[in-house]
Structure formats: structure tokens, C-alpha cells
Structure 1
Amino acid sequence: MALIQRHIQNMSEADALEPHWGYADRAVPCTNDPGSCAYLDVVYSAHDRGMVYTGIFWLTLGGIVLVWAVGRRMFPPREPHDDLIAQLSRPQQKEPESATTTPTPQPHRLWRALASSTRHHLLPTTPLRPLFGATTRLQLLILTILTAYLTLWSFLGMAYHTWQTPIKNQPPHIVNTRTTLGPWADRVGVLAYALTPLSILLASRESVLSLLTGVPYTSFLFLHKWTGYIILAQTLLHTLGWVLVEAWLYQPQPAVWEAFAGQLYIVWGFVALGLLVLLWVFSLRVVVERVTGYELFRKAHYVLAMVYIGALIGHWQQLQCFLVPGLVLWGLDRAARLVRMGLLHYGYWSEEGRWGFRAVQARARLWDDGELGDVVRMDFDHVQAPWKVGQHFFLCFPEGSIWQSHPFTPLSLPVADAAGKVRHSYVFRAKGGETKKIADVLAKMAASTEATTPVILQGPYGENIVEGLTQDVNVLCVAGGTGISYVLPVLLRLVREKPNPGRKMELVWAVKRKQDLEWIKPEMEELRRLGVAHGLQIRTFVTAEPLSATTSKQIKVTDEKGRTESEDDIESVQGTPLSTQSGTEHRPDVTTAVDDFVGNVAHGPTRVFGSGPPGMVVEMRAAVAKCNSGARVWKGEERFDVRLVCDDRLEW
């Protein structure tokens, strides 16, 4: 009734009630003054068109995803050969065959040229990094298109006019000023409701979007954050519009505003706005890093988001058609996580012979790294299906807390043995929070016995980063610190394949201290042993120790005569072109590393795998973008087709 009275509808003289989806019924015919009737025409027509526009918006998104999904299945990436994973445990011993090249078909060349041109222009990090973070121009372009699209729907389909309408029982000079501001504020509010399930969909770990498009869920987190910011802006504009209408344009004041603000659905609206502002404040990087921490932020985000949706239903339940699907999506995501975790751990056959849900016992080794934070390596075997190279798991350490989990990428190759067990190996730095607790527990254990700790797995998540990695693709891996976990499985897979003399392979790894090389000593020994036949070149750089005490290493697995060289055979000096010196730091110049690698490629495209601090990732993007040239790829120079695959989880 409050809504009806505000719209001055004369219900007693109405012949019928005209339903409007998502809005209050309208009394027809309109028996008020001509200005009020014209205003009501604009209100209801603008709302009806707004509902149609939200349908068009979702159909557009659905059509894009559908075309993407169909295209992925009609044109899947080329694989090197069938059933490769089954062969990984049996390294090839055959002599290398002569490298042969075949002309690239015109459609493939056109596609590669377009992709190379796109990377050249859109891969670098946006210059507005303080505002958007270390995101790419492509992500910013998508956000700009989304914002422009929503802005278009915010203004279309409305008649912009102003009406002066009389007020019953008031002097003639006191009138209501009715404008299109009210209908426009309603339109913006409807769009905010319509974006809510999209925001939840973009944040889902068990992502339907990832399942259809093949894009990892981490790539959608930037859009999730900024979709939330768009919803906040729309909510503020919706609120501001109606505050101006009810507190200024409608008369007499303050009676109209007091009656308006005291209604229950308006109170719920203000509650929803307050919760949305809290969601925004708690998501700010400075608040997460200095006040709440990531885990508290994540849990508070869940709770506030659910209460916010409840407040939205209380504010305008006619639009819960957008909110209930959001709740369902969130519930399905949480349920799928529990099911995935249960499938990994339920049925684990323990040494005691008990059947049920059990954590995995991981063997651990600890390196004391002083102020930099202790480094932990964990190894365990678990019966499961092998994951894809590049995917990650969320690990929960029950000895610290069962309510927290952290994403880690296994550095081990996903190969199952005869018993169906797959080796998991992880390296991570324990700076604070839950990982620091685990490091402290392991440090106490290591003093008296072998350090072990229970681990609960959830996953795997992410993309297969070696999909389509044919033998004609040259590979450069660049890693900083524990980022080696992301790129190492790629090299372990490649060195177990049949060698291709025409392929160029190289690893550039920067660590803080010389002792950090021990983290992955067994895997590095395998790379050096099997990499001989592949011409693999390994360069390691120590960045936090004086050059006089520790020199960076450049280990070339094979020399010109094919002989294996030891780790101490070659030492880089201060004048090495690939290095950059600053005080006691001696770190790789990522731009030079990428330029030199691509410049020395004989034939075939290049794929750069990278993981490390955000600054290193930003440098890699710029370097790879610079090396891409669609025009040269179209002319047959495939070495200018350079693709970057990096671990974007570091930007959370």
C-alpha cells in the first residue's frame, strides 16, 4: 500500500490491476491528474523495458559462453601424441630423429597471426596499476565493454520529462515535481539486482564458466571484484536518486521524507547499502593486508554477501528471481567443494585397516630462511587420478586450523604408479598465518623425529597449461623463488618425451639464497640427466647474497659437443648480459631473457611459462607482448608467435 500511495494510484476507481513482472501492479485506468498519469506511464514502461534489457544482457552473456564452449570442442588444441601421460613414467631412450617442419595451413596461420597481434597490444599490464592492480589490458578492455554495455541499458527506453502535479489538501503553490529521475534510479537498481548472480558466478571455485570455456576460475576474479564495484556504484546511484526525489522533489517536507524513510522495505534497502559498503571496505588490499588478513576477509565476505542478499529480498522481493539463483549458485559451489574433497579422502585405506575419511600424512622438510620466512617442502603419495600439469590444490593443515586452506601447485609430475598412487610435492614459504603455524610445528618435530603433518586436499583446480604443447613449440620457463613449482612439471614432462633437436628449451630461476637450490634438488638432478638429449639450458640466480660470497649459476646441460657439464662448471659474473645488478642483488633481467630466447629460436612458436612475484610477472607480460608480431607470423615467421602462461593466483 505504501508503494501505491506513493504513486498516487486511485485503487477505489480502478477497473483492474495490471501486473508488471518485478514491480507493483498498476491500477487501470489512471484517474489522477494528467501529469501524474503521464508520470506513471513513464515509470511502468521504463521498468518493463528494463526487465527486457536484463534478459537481453543475460542472453548476450549466455550466447558468448555458448559460442566459446562449442568452438572449444569443434577446434580442440593439437596434442603431441595420444596417451602421453601413460608414457611419462617410461622416458624415451631412442635416438633423436631429424627435425622436420611442415607448412602451416592458411587458416591456422591466420588464427595465429590474429592471436599474436592481440597479445602484442593487450597482454601488457595496464598503466593504471594503482587502481586496477597487475591486470592486463585485455581484462581492462573486457571491464570497459561491460561497463559501457550496462551504461547503455541504464538510459535507453525512457522518456525524459518533468511534471508539476498538484497535492491534495495543499495550497496550489505547493506541488510535487515528478521527473524521470525516479524511473532511472529504478532501472539502475534493477541492473544491480541482475548483476548479483553474475558476481557470484565469477567468484565460484567450482566454476561453470571454467567448465564451458576452459578459462581457469582465477582469471574471472578480477571481473568478480569489479562487478561488485559496479553493483556498489549502481546501488549508490539508485539510493541517491530516490533520496533526492523523496527528500527534495516531493512536498511537503519533511513529512514526505519521514513517511518514506520509515517504511520497512526502505529500511532494508539502507541495510543492504550498508552491507555492500562493508563488503567494499573489507575487500580493499590495504585492509586485507594490514587489518583482517586473507582468511578473515574471505569468511567475512561470505557472511556479509549472504546477509546482503537477504536484505535485498527484504527491500524488493519482486526481484528475487535474480537473487535466488545467486544463492543456489553459491550453495552448489560449496557443496561441490565438499564432494570433491570427500572423493579424494573418503575410502583412504589406512595402515590400521580402517575405512573412512582420513587425512594424508605428509613428510616435510624445513629450511630456516630468517626474516624471509621459513620454507617448507612436503611430499606424500595419494591414491587418485592424476591431475593436469599446472593445476593446483587447496591444502588444509588440521594441526593449525580446519577452517583455512591455501592454494599450492604441485611441483611433481602427475604420474600414477602401479598401485594407483600419485606423488604430491609442494614447496611454499611460511611468512605468517596458517603456513607459519605449520612451519613452527614442523620445526619442533624435526628436533626429535621425522617431521610429518596431516593434510586435507581439495582439488584439482585450474587449467592444463601444457595443452596443445606440440614438439615444434619452444619453451622458456621463468620462475622466482617458490614459483618454480609452477614451471617445473612442464620441464619434467618435456624431458621425458622424445627429443626434438629443433626445439629450444631453457629455465631461468631466481632465488634469494644459495641454499634455496636444495628445495628441488631431486627434480633438478632429473632435469640435468634427461635434459642432455633435449639441449635444455638451466640458469639460476641468487639475488639476496653478496656476489663476492655467492655467484649466480648458469648451468648449460649440454655443450656444443653434447657433453654434460656439472653445476660448478660455469659461473656467471657481474657482466653477464642476462643479469641485472643492484647493490648485493644479482637478478635476471626478464626482458633480456625473453628477447634473447626468442631471438635465438630457429623455427616454431614459443611458449613462456612464468611464476614469481607480481613485478616479475609484469615484466614477463611486457617482454612477451613486445616479441609478438602478427604481421611476421602471417608471413611464416612463427618464432614471433609467443604465448605467455603465468600463475595469476599470485595476484589474488
Structure 2
Amino acid sequence: MDSHLKSQLAARHIQNMSEAASLEPHWGYADRAVPCTNDPGSCAYLDVVYGSHDLGMLYVGILWVLIGIILLLWAVGRRALPSLSEEDVLRAALLEDTRASKSFTNRLRQTISSAVNRYLLPDCIRPVFGRTTRLQVLILAVLAAYLLVFSFVGIVYNTWITPVKKMPGVYNTRVSLGPWSDRIGVLAYALTPLSVLFATRESILSLLTGVPYQNFNFLHRWVGYIIVIQSSLHTIGWLVIEVRLYQPQPTVAEEWISQLYMIWGCIALFFLMALYVLSLPPVIRLTGYEFFRKSHYVLAMLYVGACIGHWKNLECFMIPALVIWFLDRAARAVRTALMHHNFIEGKGMGFSAAQAAITLFPDSENGDVVRLDFSHPHDSWSIGQHFYLCFTESSIWQSHPFTPLNAPVTVNGRTNHSYIFRAKGGETKKVAEIAARKLAAAPGEKSEAAPTTSVVLTGPYGDPIVRNVTSDVNVLCVAGGTGVTYVLPVLTSLKKNSAGSRKLELVWVVRHMKDVEWIRPELDALEVGEGPKIIVRIFATRDGGNQVSASGRSESESTSDGGEATGEKQIKTSARSVGEVASSDAPRHPEMTAVVRQFVDATVFGHRSSPVDLEA
């Protein structure tokens, strides 16, 4: 240990290093001088300090071992009870293969899946946790309970009145608040790599558990809150001790706060509080997501460095946190490079960005909508997964997640991609401005091809959402605006791979009927081909007038109670009246209770509810 730090800690713990027969090492803490030559009270206090710290390090080790065991069992369980692929499920359903459903393994898997879906997937205390499942909150509760219990266990709680050397009649009050403050400080250090692990995109947790990386964001956020609480209590505890209980004052407090390790501790706490404040939703809305993301990275690195400066003996937790972060960034770069390492005509193999054709739908009131279409040579993705797109003409330092609006189709080794997004601000607005400039420079009447922009993509990420949807499941998809990109591939895939007996329906809420043109090719494709009929019901909330049929003719249709259905479009009109779910009052939003009731009442075969994963 550094001699300067030794001298500081010797004064802090009244240890006489010069008279020590030997130094007793303690992992994560200062070496102890043995035998203790101080007064009995100080020696007893030091026994508690070092004993509590050693137990704290043991509890931290047990925590990480338990996490490792749980992940190992989860990974083994996934292999022992694998989920069927989309192709296997569809093949078994279409061929009416009942052997798979009768096997013990399949029945067990379905039973576990049903129990998890029923009891652990619903939201839990939404005003506090937001849209978070009971399973996520349960994991957080178990972790918090472990930390709470072992913040107190193994500490001898007592008070020792000890004399101050060379100051007759002056006494220090030593209490177990010191060992307790050290304990929660150790726990805060130990949680740092776990918090970073929860935040990674190329997540080893996803690899082991099959849970998409974004599902760990909740735990990343709340583990961060726990670290803030622990660090604050650690600081308050030592403030009380050094400013109130140790004597003489204010000499002790002034000497304590001027020590280098304390200066680094104050800096670390400042960075941690900045991380917390800048991550609050109102602050993110005020400063913008990109500022939050970049400042989060910088402040997190500075916090880790300051923690090492504060207590170097616990860098065994800080260095892994840095390693995890840099490995995640390296994995992203490698994954992107591999996806774009292709043959370039005239140059051979090299990095080649995708060239996306741009279609712009101007909307000065609500923000322009941009559509991108391109193909790229890579393996197909699964329905429900998303990609991170980097628009190189705007900035190479940003990438944003987008869900393809099309089902994956591979032609001659190239997989088609289509995306739509509304340009509100930031990067999407820059892309819309680039599109407007290019379209203005090359009007459609004069150009042979649509203007293009370079796109670098990374992915796919996320979990397939139609993997276990068999052909007897009726599916209702609900979406608003550009959110249709999440459900449209579901309908395309289910129509292509289903028998004609199931019921498929899309309810899409847009501002204006002209917004249908965003996805006109995909909607037209739903009307043709084999498979079940898909009812598409479109509600234009800011358009007046009559219902428009698939052919574009204007119709008026009476409701069951004599009202008029307005603002709704059906690509394939159902036999029943739709007026019950479309209000004639502006704004015309669908009454979702009635929509779901009509859907359920109209099903005559199969399950009468949609999978949780297909809600949008």
C-alpha cells in the first residue's frame, strides 16, 4: 500500500505502524498493525472495523457467486427446454403434428411459459416502476433485500469512549456507524460492474438468458439508484463521525476533509449525483437524449476513475466495470464491421454502407415522415427484432434503434429493409432535411431513381415475438402513427405462413388518411395472396367526412344505433358495422374496449386473445 495512504489511515484508526510487529493484510482495506498497542477501547473498535470489512467482502463474493449460479442455471434451462423456432411452430401447426405437443418436455415448457406469462409478465406498480413486469421488479426486490440484510449483518454494535493522545480530558466517541458506513461503501463499489453489465447492448446476459438487452435497462437504472443511496449514506455516516464524534473540533474535520482520498471521494460523489440528476426523465426531455447519452458515458468514466482515487484497494470492482464497457463498445464495432464487410465493385472487399432510397412525406404541422428502402447482404432477422441505424451524411457518432416495417425477404443473398420515422428533432430531423435537399435537387419527374443516403446498420437486436404463435391463435394488432412498424411485419408473416381459419386484424390510428401512403406497398400486399383475410381498420383522428373503402370510394355507413362512422378506413371491410368503435366527435379516436370486444365476439376458432408480445 502507498505509504501516504498508510499514514492517513494510521492517524484515522490510531494505529501505531512504527511499533507494529507485523502488518496483517485485509483484501480491499488498509493493512492492520498487529499487535494493537493502543488503549483497549481503540483496539476493540479496530477489531470491529476489520472484522466487519472482511465479512462485507465475503458477502459481496457470495452475491457475485449467486449471480453466476443463477445465470448458469438459466442458460442450462434454456438448452434443456428450448423454445421452438418460428419455422418449427408453423410447420407443426400446419401439418397438425400432435406428437410435439404430447411430449413431456413440450408440456413442461408450455406450462412454465403459461405460468410466467400469467403471474410474472403483467406490469407492477406502474406509477412507480413504469411499464415494468413483475418479474423485473421481483429480481430487483430480491437484490435489494440481500443488500439490505447484509448491510447490517455481522457488525458488532457498540460505543467506545477512547482518549485522544496527548490531550488529557479529551475523548473520541467511536461507534459502529463507522464499520456500517464502510460496509455500504463496499457494496456500492461491488454493484458498479453489475450496473454497467445491465447497460450493455452486446450483452452477455442476453447471450446466457435469451432476454433482450433492453429488458435490463430497468435493473441498470434501479441499481444506479441503489448506488446513489448507498454512497450518500456512506458520506453522511463519515461526516457525522469526523465532524461530530471525533475530537478536537474543528481540527479533526479540517484535517480529514483535506486528505487526498477524501478529495477524490467528494469528486466521485459529485459525478454520481450528476449522473443521477441528468438521468431523470424531465431533465432528459429538457436537454435531449443525445446529450444524456454522451454525458452519461463521460460522467460514468470520471466517476469510476474518482472511485479508484478515493479507495484504490477496491479497484478490483472498478476496473472490471471499465473492461465491460470497453468490451461492449469493441463488440459493437466488430459486429458493424462484419455486417458491412462486403465486395465493392472495382475495389474488392471493404467496408460498404447500405444505400437507402429516400421517400419524404412532408408534414409541416407534425413533422415530416421519412421512408427508407434498401437491401443489404446479410442473414435474415426475426419478426420483432430491430436494428441500430447510423446516417453517415448526418453524423457518424450517433445511431438510433428502428424496427423494420417489412418482414425479412432475402433475394439473391440480399435482405430487404424498409423503415419509416417521423422527424421531430435531432438526428431524424437532420435526415429529413437531407432528404428534402436531395429531392429538391432531383425532382421525381426528371430522375431515373430516387435519391439515396448512406446507412450503416448494426443488429439485429431483440427477441422474436411470433416464435410460439401457432396457426390457431387469433391476433389483434393495435398501433398508432409510425408505431405500425412493430406490428405490420407480424401480420405479413402470419398471413404468409398461416391457414385460412385464423382471424387477423390491424387497428391503426393516424392523424390523416393520407398517412396511409407511408406503407401503401405493404398494405396492398396484405390484400393479395393466399392465407387468411386480414381486416385493416384505419382511424384518421383529424379528418372529417366519410369512411373510405379499399378502392378509394367514399361511403357512408350507419352504426347499429343510427350514428355515422367517420374517420375510419377498412382495407377489407368486415360484415359487421364498424360505427360502434368510431366516434363522430373530433378528435375521432377508436374506443379500444369496443374494438377488442368486437374482435373477440367475431372469433369462431382458436384462442380468443392476442399474445402479450404482439401488443403495440
| In structure 2, C-alpha distance between the alignment counterparts of 1:254 and 1:314, rounded to whole Å | 25
CA spacing shift, 1:599–1:55, aligned 2, 3 Å? farther
Q: Paired residue for 2:144?
A: 147
Give the residue type in structure 1 aligned to 2:588.
H
Shift of 1:594: 4.1
The letter of the residue matching 2:135 is L
Cα 1:100–1:511 change in 2 (3 A) is farther
Q: Structure 1 571/106 Cα, relative in aligned 2: closer, same or farther at 3 Å?
A: closer
Q: Deviations over 1:312-352 (max 9, x none)?
A: 000011111111111111010000111111112233424x5
How far does residue 553 in structure 1 lie from its aligned partner after superposition? Answer: 8.2
1:112, distance to aligned residue in structure 2 (A):
4.5
Q: Distance in 1 between matches of 2:96 and 2:536?
A: 23
Distance 2:462 2:608 in 1: 22
**Number of the residue aligned with 1:331:** 326
**Deviation, structure 1 residue 374:** 0.7
Residues 552 and 572 in structure 1, CA contact (< 8 A), matched pair in contact too: no
Unaligned residue ranges in structure 1 (runs of 5+): 88-95, 556-565, 609-641, 648-652
Q: Report how far residue 503 of structure 1 moved.
A: 2.8
Letter in 1 for 2:261: Y
Judge conservation of contact 2:81–2:109 (CA < 8 Å) in 1: no
- Structure 1 residues 516 and 52, CA gap change in structure 2 (3 angstroms): same
Of residues 133-142 and 25-34 in structure 1, the stretch that sits farther from structure 2 once superposed is: 133-142
Q: Name the CA distance, whole Å, in 2 between partners of 1:234 and 1:293.
A: 28
Deviation sequence 1:441-468 (CA, Å, 0-9, x none): 2112212323321111122211122223
Structure 2 partner of 1:157: 154
Match of 1:182 in 2: 178
**Which amino acid is the alignment partner of residue 643 of structure 1?**
V
Distance, in Å, in 2 between the alignment partners of 1:5 and 1:263 is 11
Any residues of structure 2 matched to 1:574-585 within 5 Å, and which? 576-579=579-582, 581=583, 583-585=585-587
Deviations 1:103-135 (A, max 9, x none): 766775576456545544544434452x43333
Shift of 1:607: 7.0
Distance 1:48 1:645, change over 3 A: farther
Secondary structure of 2:477's partner?
strand
Q: Following the alignment from structure 1 to structure 2, what is the Cα–Cα distance between the partners of residues 137 and 369?
A: 40
Partner amino acid, structure 1, of 2:441: S
1:445 corresponds in structure 2 to 438
How far is the alpha carbon of 1:145 from its aligned partner? 2.4
Partner in structure 2 of residue 644 of structure 1? 613
CA apart distance, 1:597: 3.9
Confirm whether residue 433 of structure 1 aligns to residue 426 of structure 2.
yes
Displacement of 1:644 in angstroms is: 2.9
Structure 2 residue matching 1:517: 3-state secondary structure: helix
DSSP 3-state at the match of 2:131? coil
**Given that residues 538 and 570 in structure 2 are in contact (C-alpha distance below 8 angstroms), is that contact kept between their aligned partners in structure 1?**
no
Whether 2:229 is the aligned partner of 1:233: answer yes
Q: Indicate if the aligned counterparts of 2:465 and 2:614 stay in contact, CA closer than 8 A.
A: yes
1:362 counterpart residue number = 356
Question: 1:114 & 1:108 partners in 2: Cα distance?
Answer: 10
2:56 is matched with which residue?
50
Aligned Cα root-mean-square deviation (Å): 2.8
Query: Is 1:265 aligned to residue 261 of structure 2?
Result: yes
Does residue 202 of structure 1 match 2:198? Answer: yes
1:542 pairs with 533, 540, 559, which one?
Answer: 540
Q: CA deviation at 1:596?
A: 4.7
Q: Is the CA contact 1:607–1:645 (under 8 Å) kept in the aligned structure 2?
A: no
Q: SS of the residue aligned with 2:43? A: helix
Distance in 1 of aligned mates of 2:356 and 2:95: 44
Give the TM-score, by structure 2 length.
0.88
CA contact (8 A) 2:81 2:105 kept: no
State the shift of 1:389 in Å. 1.9
Map 1:246-395 to 2 at 5 A.
246-290=242-286, 292-350=287-345, 353=347, 355-395=349-389
Shift of 1:281: 1.1
Kindly tell me: are residues 643 and 55 of structure 1, through their superposed partners in 2, closer, same or farther at Cα, counting changes over 3 Å?
A: same
Percent identical: 52
Any conservation in 2 of the 1:79–1:469 contact (CA below 8 Å)? no
Give the TM-score of the pair, scaled to structure 1: 0.84
Deviation sequence 1:295-318 (CA, Å, 0-9, x none):
111111111100110000000111
* Cα distance in structure 2, aligned partners of 1:21 and 1:157: 17
Note the C-alpha offset of 1:230: 0.8
Report the AA paired with residue 298 of structure 2. V
- The corresponding residue for 2:15 is 9
* In structure 2, distance between residues paired with 1:571 and 1:501: 16
Say if 2:167 is the partner of 1:170: yes
Distance change (3 Å), C-alpha of 1:552 and 1:569: closer
What SS does the corresponding residue of 1:402 show, helix, strand or coil?
Answer: coil
Q: Is the 8 A contact 1:540 1:554 kept in 2?
A: no
> Cα–Cα, structure 1 residues 260 and 539, in superposed 2: closer, same or farther, change >3 Å?
same
Q: Quick one: distance in 2 between partners of 1:115 and 1:599?
A: 26
